[in-house]
Chain A
Amino acid sequence: MSTTVTGTDQPRAPGTVMGTRLRRKEDPALLSGEALFVHDLVVPGALHLSFVRSPSAHARVTALDLSAAQAMPGVVAVFGGADLMSEWAAPMPCAWPVTSDMKNPPHYPLATDEVRYVGDAVAVVVAETEAQAQDAASAVAVGYDALPAVVDLEDAASDRVLVHSALGTNRSYIWELAPDAEAVERAFAEAAHVVSERYVQQRLIPAAIEPRGVCVVPQPFGGEYTVYSATQIPHILRTMLGISLGIPEARLRVVAPAVGGGFGSKLNVYAEELICVALARRLRRPVRWSEGRSENSQATIHGRGQIQHIELAADAAGRLKAVRVRLLADMGAYLQLVTPGIPLLGAFLYHGVYDVPAYSFSCVSVFTNKTPTDAYRGAGRPEATYAIERAMDALARKLGLDPAEVRRRNFIPADKFPYPSAPGLVFDSGNYAAGLEKALGLADYEGLRGEQARRRGAGSTRHLGIGLSSYVEMCGLAPSRVLASLNYSAGGWEAATVRVLPTAKVQVVTGTSPHGQGHVTSWSMIVADKLGISPDDVEVLHSDTAVSPFGLDTYGSRSLSVGGTAVYLAAERVLEKARLIAAHQLEAAPEDLEYEGGAFKVRGSPHKSVPLGVIAFEAFTAHDLPEGVEPTLEASVSWDPPNFTFPFGTHVAVVDVDGETGRVELVRYVAVDDCGNQVNPLIVEGQVHGGIAQGVAQALWEEAAYDPEGNLLTTTLADYLVPAATELPSFVLGRTVTPSPTNPMGVKGVGEAGTIAATPAVVNAVVDALSHLGVRGIEMPVTPERVWRALSDATQETQEKGEPR
């Protein structure tokens, strides 16, 4: 294992910081308990909110009696949905109307006459303490008249029961992508082999360890509001709060303090955020709300929730000729911020890393009486990767080929990049075969296959399974023009400012909003590397709209390749300006200067030099600047990427399946990822580790389970099985480096890679472990019961057919 670089205080030569394992600047505050999360903020006089939530998946609200709650100790006010309707200038926002006829039913922060999922809020209590608010919430009397609920996706698609009766259908939209539908039909007609598979992407609960929290401080006489929220998107939130509440955006300041993980769940505009601002406005006092874990399970968005049909057409040698996908996607009861767009983030990637000439995709999205879905780590791309990687294994079985071989035969060749894909993207760069071979080597694939054969030969009931997953993702959200073509309501650029202060310390302002990703460290490294200074001399300001007015925040593995690039370019522009000042000082032509070791030197006369610190002070005093050069040494850049980036890799999961109990143990995990050039491998590896854990968890343990009446059964961390340290092995990581041509640093992004790759690798491993017994598939999460049933079914089938396989 490489050692961590610990000395950060020395000035560095330009170009020597990037790629080092610098330990994080963020850590001391987090390790000492000094970092302040929303719940930690001390706000004198703040009132506490507690929400009354529907216990029913679908019901008419027939009565709402607030009087008992209003009489409880410490209660300041209690509101039902109708009481707050005058607060809203617009309904809750959905920023992604994917089709012009998409159905988006009106959605307000508190339900009024009808509740549509367990957890839908119907009233809010305001009290002096949190305990008083909670006590009073339980005294709010709500009359519910139960309505039929629809939980199952295919049932929802039948419109047997309607979630929103006024719409007349549960379908929100149908979205299709078929650049050449005839070619797809032809390929299937001519195919030597067709694979047709149906997979279920169970719903997941993102389960950041910090639940959500909001605190709003109004300044009634100044007309301004400071909103503290555990959010990934302070900038987007500010705009949306302004629109939804009719408050001029300039009077809203949104701050995301320390945020305890998001994984997409804090990439939203939530009812509680709107209500906190509305009540701070109405009551003219600070208000705050801290989400409980059970609330988080019900009222924070869920992820995934799809039924996938994928078909592969292949020739006799197993080469893919077409991929056809039909998706049924669960929107939940309402459309949240980007709910409808999530399936489309995968729509272009169901052919995975394979060279496929013909492609079609269609998605039907339906409402159900469940918590709304939205972005969860990977958002659309894990689903796509799961489908193609499971189907590739099915194709391998059909052909009697090794799963590695069927992948080799189909990879987009390294010399075909930039690769125009059949669905219409241009993959920037890649070398998929290299990642696969490296992963197989690290895993000792041949050795594992030998051990598997040995166990099978010996009739062992400890079944060894090896699962592969080769993936590509589209990251770096996103080129604004592409977003326009997908009807997304915003752009995908990112903003940064780099300013050199009079004392030569450097301040970076970024529009990204980190919540664990280490941007403070990485952005410091980018600037230090460019300017030839110590990363310790760089300060990074973020996540406060008063400090960083422009930005599009953090999600979709976008921060480095879009936000980091803006920082890089701003540092470059600072140097351009510094060069003009230096040239003036040194009485030389700007083009005769070179920048080295934190100083400009006249080429050929190294004794004539001026350090950046002196230039910064000159820019500050402005006593002797060249003609036409403004004071201060500062540059701002907004970078709109010309393309997505396309990280890739291959993961290998090795499982030990107990044929008698059905228990699956993940015994070894190898990941080879290529995210282009790496700024800080220590951080990259951490992102991969955490991503793998979440992907494995979908495969083996996690499911937001509902009963047929729409009751969420997994409302606590005792029921919803987020893995602990005992459930996971240490991971073996390798990397290849294929720089992206899309941005000057050649970076791609890595926040979601592990999650995207891991789920199919693990399920493929389980199926592989049991394939000799006739098991062809198994649904997620792969519980001991499901394994046991799959084995029983396969055994029965084998006996009925009277053949061993």
Chain B
Amino acid sequence: MRLSMTVNGTWFEHDVEPRLLLVHYIRDVLGLTGTNVGCDTTSCGACTVLLDGESVKACTVLAVQADGAEITTIEGLARSDGSLHPLQEAFREHHGLQCGFCTPGMVMAAASFLREHPDPTEAEVREGLEGNLCRCTGYHNIVQAVLAAATTKELVR
């Protein structure tokens, strides 16, 4: 099937199998391997990307369902000058990552969450990230990072 979408600001067109998942399109067709796959039941959230600004688990969206959409992956979050996005900076500042495998999905989920909750409480941050599993951090520093990023007021486009 013919498919076209904008990923990180670039327009792509491809012929794909109808069964191709969005995450495999992003990883295998476009070569954007920052988005990870950690499970097969939409449980872990490692594959979270933004679809028209909202976070989705890219393992649960067919590529063709995203036809015409605007996708942002972790590779599209840093600024064009090469510096990290404030949310990425906050994760670094607060040691919100260890092995880093869940991190791209976690950061994208947090980006989407903060757009909807610009001034969240700790409990709201925890609820907002409930769909993303991290096995390393115990979430403590992730929550701190997201709360800190919320104060920068310079978030997702």
Contacts and interface: CB of A to CB of B under 8 A. Distances in A.
B16 interface: no
Contacts of A42: 31
A773 interface: no
A146 B128 CA distance: 47
- Tell me if B's interface is mostly helix, strand, loop or mixed: loop
B52 to A, nearest CB: 20
Contacts of A293: 38-41, 43-44
A593 B72 CA distance: 58
A261 B135 CA distance: 8
Contacts of A686: 95, 98, 136-137, 141
A683 B95 contact: yes
Most chain B CB within 10 A, of A34, A693, A724, is at A724
Interface string A205-222: 001111100000000000
A171 B152 CA distance: 61
B99 A209 contact: yes
A728 B77 CA distance: 28
Contacts of A725: 125-127, 129-130, 132, 134, 139, 142-143
Interface stretch (A190-198, A239-247, A514-522, A797-805): A514-522
B41 to A, nearest CB: 4
B133 to A, nearest CB: 5
Interface stretch (A20-28, A271-279, A496-504): A20-28
A692 B39 CA distance: 23
Interface in A153-188: none
A14 to B, nearest CB: 25
A31 B39 contact: no
Contacts of A724: 129-133, 139
A516 B74 contact: no
Interface in B47-103: 73-75, 77-78, 84, 88, 91-95, 97-103
Contacts of B77: 32
Contacts of B122: 730
Contact of B95 (A515, A682, A693, A730): A682
A726 interface: yes
Interface in B108-157: 122, 125-127, 129-144
A21 B133 CA distance: 26
Contacts of B73: 33
Contacts of B97: 27, 30-31
A210 B38 contact: yes
A724 B98 CA distance: 16
B139 A40 contact: no
B91 A261 contact: no
A507 B75 CA distance: 29
- Tell me if A's interface is mostly helix, strand, loop or mixed: loop
A726 B40 contact: no
A29 B75 CA distance: 11
A263 interface: yes
Contacts, number: 180
A261 B44 CA distance: 14
B99 A515 contact: yes
B22 interface: no
Interface string A441-468: 0000000000000000000000000000
B7 interface: no
B33 A33 contact: yes
A27 B74 CA distance: 14
B138 to A, nearest CB: 3
Given A260-B100, A724-B132, A33 B32 contact: yes
A704 interface: no
A717 B130 contact: no
Interface in A708-760: 716-718, 722, 724-726, 728, 730-731, 754
A82 interface: no
B81 to A, nearest CB: 13
B140 A260 contact: no
Contact of A209 (B38, B93, B125, B129): B38
A24 B126 CA distance: 24
Contacts of A292: 40
A585 B40 CA distance: 64
Most chain B CB within 10 A, of A40, A209, A516, is at A209
A111 interface: no
A788 interface: no
Given A33-B34, A692-B138, A722-B133, A260 B101 contact: yes
Interface in A515-540: 515-518
B139 A32 contact: no
A532 B36 CA distance: 39
Contact of A718 (B41, B98, B139): B41
Contact of B41 (A6, A29, A31, A716): A716
A210 B92 contact: no
B23 to A, nearest CB: 11
A728 B38 contact: no
A260 B104 CA distance: 12
B135 A32 contact: no
Contacts of A518: 98
Given A209-B38, A725-B126, A726-B130, A693 B138 contact: yes
A564 B100 CA distance: 22
Contacts of A138: none
Given A37-B36, A718-B41, A726 B126 contact: yes
A33 B35 contact: yes
A683 B97 CA distance: 10
21 contacts: A32-B77, A32-B84, A32-B88, A207-B135, A209-B99, A210-B99, A211-B38, A260-B99, A261-B99, A261-B135, A263-B135, A293-B38, A293-B39, A516-B98, A686-B98, A716-B39, A725-B127, A728-B126, A730-B122, A730-B144, A731-B140
Interface of B: 27, 31-41, 43-44, 46, 73-75, 77-78, 84, 88, 91-95, 97-104, 107, 122, 125-127, 129-144
Given A31-B88, A689-B138, A725-B142, 5 more contacts: A28-B92, A33-B33, A689-B141, A692-B138, A718-B43
Interface of A: 4, 6, 23-24, 26-37, 39-40, 42, 207-211, 258-261, 263, 292-294, 515-518, 682-683, 685-686, 689-694, 716-718, 722, 724-726, 728, 730-731, 754
Pairs A-B, 8 closest by C-beta atoms: A33-B34, A260-B101, A30-B100, A516-B99, A693-B138, A717-B43, A516-B98, A40-B33
